[in-house]
Amino acid sequence: MLAQFDFQVLVHVDALLNALAFVFLCAALVAIKRGNVELHKKLIFVAVGFSAAFLACYLTYHFTVPSKKFVHEGWIRPVYFTLLISHIILAVVQVPLILRTLYLGLKDRRAQHKKWAKVTTPIWLYVSITGVIVYWLAFHY
């Protein structure tokens, strides 16, 4: 049955998971700005879940499907590769940042959590949204 599965569908699933992580992360930011710590925690866990699911699907996709070449020329080519390269580098950087920030939050070390979150959050948001943009440019542009 697994041999019949079309792993190419995972690229579309990845885009959806990135978009959902972005939305839930934004909602978590709104919750914490309004002082709702419990809702913030729940929304962060959902965002982490979507990001973790993304990583699992991403690795599965790239281990099973040949890489797609970006064939477009002109101004869009350097834009695409700039986004792609920055996205990949920051995606690698964000994993330990998210884990450390999450750990500090779970341990209720709020001052440290807040300092780490100020670095982690914009990177996580950037990686999530550029993942969707790169997907759109590669598969729908």
pLDDT tens-digit map of 62-78: 999 988 899 999 999 99
Kindly give the parts of the chain with pLDDT less than 70: 1-3
- The pLDDT value given to residue 5: 84
- The pLDDT value given to residue 33: 97
| Number of residues that this document lists for the chain | 141
State the first-to-last Cα distance of the chain, in angstroms, to the nearest integer.
33
Can you give the pTM of this predicted structure?
0.92
- What's domain 2-139's architecture? Up-down Bundle (1.20)
Q: What is the DSSP string of 28-90?
A: HHHHHHTT-HHHHHHHHHHHHHHHHHHHHHHHHHHHHSPPPP----TTHHHHHHHHHHHHHHH
Per-domain boundaries in the chain: 2-139
- The pLDDT value given to residue 122: 98
pLDDT tens-digit map of 126-136: 999 999 999 99
